[in-house]
Amino acid sequence: MTRRRKPLNKHWRNPLVWVTINDAASLGLKNFRLYVVNRMLGKASRREFEENENRPRSATQLPWQSRSSNSKEARPMSQEDQQEEIKRALAEFLKDHERKSPPVPKPKNKKKDQELAVINIGDAHFGMYAEKSVSGEDYDCHIAADRHKDVFMRLMNNAPDCETLIINQLGDYFHSDTYTSTTTKGTPVDTDGRLENIVLVGLEVMSFMVEESLKRFPKVIIRHCKGNHDAVLTQLIRCQQQAYWRNNKRVSIEMSPTATWVYQHGKTAFMTTHGDTLKHAKMAEFFAGRYPEIWGAATAARYCWHGHIHSKKISAETYGQTITESFAGLPPSDAWHDASGYVSGQSMCLIVLDKDKGEVRRSTERI
Ligand SMILES: [Mn+2]
């Protein structure tokens, strides 16, 4: 079922795409019209414009033509000139609002790199629609955005004072991947609204999380695992974040299209994947075969982390003493998962890895 809803105005603090005139009006960018009108009026003040706004005018007059009769500029512009002015004004407006990442001051005190912080974001399913009466709990774009921001900030408060944070997004960040509300392979799912809105909300929340991370960590690395719900949109979020943070040298986006990604920190390393193609039990063995140098260098501890199953599964001392573990996401079960007997773990986890010891602390926040 697809539910249509109004544009999510509160998420438009940072518009992510260029807008048309119609979009600008519908999105509540009130200044847009005033901006155009002031351009048309040349030196006219805002007060003059507002007075004119309330004055009766003939049906053929446009708002910016209704000047007082003794003004030199009373003559209406030709239609061609008006079009030119609108084009110019629109170009200037768009230039002012070009999407760019905000400047974030680097934390002042010097950080140590003995420890590394990793936040594992389990399946977020932005765009999923769930109803309490059907599957036990409501979920939509608004709930997803609030929940992810809130829990992420709580983890930030527990974060260590170290050099680098890795945001490890474990896949299925988006619930659907198509205009017909299906997963990548075509399975129909319940979605909350149009794909455009879902994407914008998800991207805004990701930018928020990265921005907050930059306030605390000198370096932020982001990996997005490819999920079975969002294989296409995963590449979109990687590219959007890559472009969005292009001027910030402290952010690095992992762009590799592989299903797995590995990161070494001193004598410890972890490998991460979504968990739909490479399964839990096979991960450690695959790590050794696919990344033998990192496997060999990680003499203290090795970890395999995945999402997909929406619940907790830990297998300690698998192949090569590796700890393989799944991480739950924050959404509840949707109708399909509920009917299939799955219960969602609903948590987000921060793990602290020491260069010489492996995992030394962790913090789990729940909704
Ligand atoms: Mn999945």
Condensed to tens digits (0 to 9), the pLDDT of residues 87-103 reads 777 776 666 556 678 88
- Sign for the pseudo-dihedral over CA of 188, 191, 197, 200: negative
- In 3D space, the residue among 359, 266, 257, 231 whose CA is nearest the CA of residue 305 turns out to be 359
- Sign for the pseudo-dihedral over CA of 14, 220, 242, 365: negative
Give bridge partners of residue 41 from the DSSP assignment.
Answer: none
| 225-278 confidence digits (pLDDT tens) | 999 999 999 999 999 999 999 999 999 999 999 999 999 999 999 999 999 999
365 Cα: distance to centroid of ligand 1 (angstroms) = 21
What pLDDT shows up at residue 17?
Answer: 31
**141's tokens:** 């774009």
| 175-205 confidence digits (pLDDT tens) | 999 999 999 999 999 999 899 999 999 999 9
125 Cα: distance to centroid of ligand 1 (angstroms) = 9
137 Cα: distance to centroid of ligand 1 (angstroms) = 19
338 Cα: distance to centroid of ligand 1 (angstroms) = 15
228 Cα: distance to centroid of ligand 1 (angstroms) = 5
Q: Using DSSP, how many helices (H) and how many strands (E) does the chain show? A: 11, 13
170 Cα: distance to centroid of ligand 1 (angstroms) = 9
What pLDDT shows up at residue 22?
Answer: 47
How many Cβ atoms sit within 10 Å of the Cβ of residue 22? 8
- In 3D space, the residue among 289, 342, 349 whose CA is nearest the CA of residue 319 turns out to be 289
Task: Write phi, then psi, for 127 (nearest 5 degrees).
Answer: 100, -5
122 Cα: distance to centroid of ligand 1 (angstroms) = 10
What residues are neighbours of ligand 1 (ion), with CB under 5 Å? 172, 227-228, 308
Helix/strand/coil percent split, the chain, to 5: 35, 20, 40
183 Cα: distance to centroid of ligand 1 (angstroms) = 10
274 Cα: distance to centroid of ligand 1 (angstroms) = 7
pTM of the model: 0.74
226 Cα: distance to centroid of ligand 1 (angstroms) = 9
93 Cα: distance to centroid of ligand 1 (angstroms) = 41
Coil, helix or strand for 52?
helix
For the chain, list the domains and their CATH numbers.
18-96 (no CATH), 115-366 (3.60.21)
Coil, helix or strand for 31?
helix
CB-CB contact of 66 with 37 (8 Å) = no
- In 3D space, the residue among 125, 124, 142 whose CA is nearest the CA of residue 9 turns out to be 142
322-326 and 191-192 beta bridge pairing: unpaired
Task: Write phi, then psi, for 289 (nearest 5 degrees).
Answer: -75, -35
| 121-142 confidence digits (pLDDT tens) | 999 999 999 999 988 899 999 9
CA distance 209 to 202: 11
CB-CB contact of 139 with 343 (8 Å) = no
3-state secondary structure 158-180: CCCCECEEEEEECCCCECCCCCC
34 Cα: distance to centroid of ligand 1 (angstroms) = 47
39 Cα: distance to centroid of ligand 1 (angstroms) = 51
180 Cα: distance to centroid of ligand 1 (angstroms) = 18
116 Cα: distance to centroid of ligand 1 (angstroms) = 27
Amino acid at 33: R
Find the radius of gyration of the CA atoms of the chain.
25
